[in-house]
Chain A
């Protein structure tokens, strides 16, 4: 399964992290080291075992579909890198 440079580039793109070209080889080696160590999980017999996604009861609680917080645009946008008149200012994405 060795992780090669192409896989690192692909995963970094999926994760939206710019990795400089000179880091790719080193990263491939690091990730390979970790994944090789993880490979030992293959030794465990998990036939017929249900995946455990949560240690609390499986039924998530429901709540009434009502607004519990809101109406405070200034608070919501207070940490925005760019905002104007209670709106987030984002780069143009539609031509």
Chain B
């Protein structure tokens, strides 16, 4: 049944509709693939019984002619999304045994549309990391290896489990979240497609909070069209999230394959950073060429505050995280350690329950919000954030979408950057700007480097203009003809 796991989401849905196979068959093939791929550590919780039960229910719906848009498609869920009755940990010790009594809005919409859950996917603890190494359950190993090497590579982070599972055919698509690049950088490192929509498209309700003004959910899948299918289902207004946008959701798939003739594509000169590998420069130039051939006009634009995006992010995100994570007090849910008094219980609980990177960010956040530093750091960062958003506003006067590399390198070795926080943070240099400005950004694979590792290009769109992003991505996907897959070693 391995052939069934090779299908795209669209291909599988077509096959289900044509009665070529059942959801139970499709799901069983994936359950077997997931079991066989445990060395990747992509799934931290497999739910095969639930999956097969959901698949059987899907087949019954389809037999009655009541199939939804994703009916019978087996998906993976990043373990940051609360799933009712299914353990949800954020890959932390403090939530190691947390079983939500409710379902996140985004996943509930996927199940509403008929999708099947295969299990929960690994991530950096509380989504804080760019290599999946901060997970309490250990890192995910990238299915890709450099040619002629057995070295274990990172799948990126924080949605490393989601990206690796899609790349290794362990699901037809996966939910993910992106606070500074956590959908797009892993997608680039694994040869998969990932989109972070406009802030407010997807409800944050039931998603474990990291930095609420930046967090956005989105899908990772095998093709641009597949991500469009998933995003259509995941998006929509939710009164339970006060920042959820009350606007209609288009069928995003209609934009994939649409002509992009006459579109103006901006190339931000500040994204040409020092030390960028020549192969990434080349890939970017290829992308520009493909878009020219498709009839786009290429314009150089300037985003002068780009270099300040990451430092601003490392004030804003930790500040919000320190506030959000104050809820883990050992009283109402999660781990509780003993202590002589209440303060000691709090301090010991949080010391034992959080990993080093999470603690580091809480401490930074607490520091920049503390008396005497609030104006100098937090307020300053929010002003720089506006400067960054204004850069984009100006760029939109000259272009309809932007083309950039997704990440400054291909996947690196596990352990290579883990002792240098700033080197790790720089992974998000091209992705974090869109979180600060709330814009949609999509990464798709567009080529391989000399070591045979995938590289990604990013398309950034205007607010709420995911449609154009999907159209441009569809054109690049077609021109790049990227079909490489990781050689199966697991």
Binding site for B on A (CB under 8 A): 3, 7-8, 10-19, 27, 30-31, 33-35, 37-44, 46, 49-56, 60-61, 63, 72, 75-82, 88, 90-91, 93
Determine if B302 is an interface residue (Cβ-Cβ < 8 Å). no
Interface, chain B (partner A; CB < 8 A): 97-99, 101, 199-200, 213, 239, 242-243, 245-246, 305, 307-308, 311-312, 314-315, 322, 326, 329-336, 341-348, 350-351, 354, 359-360, 362-364, 366-367, 370, 377, 379-387, 389, 421-422, 436-438, 463
Given known pairs A52-B389, A75-B101, the reply for A7 and B239 (CB within 8 Å) is: no
Q: Which residue of A lies closest to B329 (CB)?
A: A16
8 Å CB contact of B421 from A12, A30, A60, A61: A30
Q: Is A60 a contact partner of B341 (Cβ separation < 8 A)? A: no
Q: Which residues of A contact B437 (CB under 8 A)?
A: 55
A51 & B385 in contact (Cβ 8 Å cutoff): yes
Measured in the bound complex, the distance between the Cα atoms of B102 and A78 in whole Å is: 12
Whether B199 and A88, one on each chain, are in contact in the complex, defined by CB atoms closer than 8 angstroms, is no
A18 CB to closest chain B CB, in angstroms? 4
Q: Name the B residues within 8 Å of A93 (CB-CB).
A: 342
Query: From DSSP, what is the main secondary structure of chain B's interface residues?
Result: helix
Q: Which of A3, A33, A42, A80 contacts B333 (CB 8 A)?
A: A80
Number of A-B contacts (CB under 8 A): 150
Q: Please name all residues of chain A whose beta carbon is closer than 8 Å to the beta carbon of B377 when the two chains form the complex.
A: 38
> Given B200, B334, B336, B346, which contacts A16 in the complex, CB threshold below 8 Å?
B346
**Which residues on the B side are within 8 Å of A3 (C-beta)?**
367
Contact: B421 with A33, CB < 8 Å? yes
Q: Describe A's contact surface by its main secondary structure.
A: loop
* Measured CA separation A79–B333 after assembly (Å): 5
For B348, B364, B437, which residue has the most chain A Cβ atoms within 10 angstroms?
B364
Question: In the complex, what residues of B have CB within 8 A of residue A19's CB?
Answer: 351, 359
**Beta-carbon nearest neighbor of A40 in chain B:** B311
Report the bound CA distance from A20 to B123 in whole Å. Answer: 27
Query: How distant is A11 from chain B, measured CB to nearest CB, in Å?
Result: 5
Point out the residues of chain A lying under 8 angstroms from B243, CB to CB: 54, 56
B330-A81 in contact (CB<8A): yes
A61 and B242 form a contact (CB under 8 A): yes
With A41-B308, A81-B330 known as contacts, the answer to whether A91 contacts B438 (CB < 8 A) is no
Given A38-B377, A41-B311, does the pair A17, B351 have CB atoms closer than 8 Å? yes
Minimum distance in angstroms from B33 CB to a CB of chain A: 32
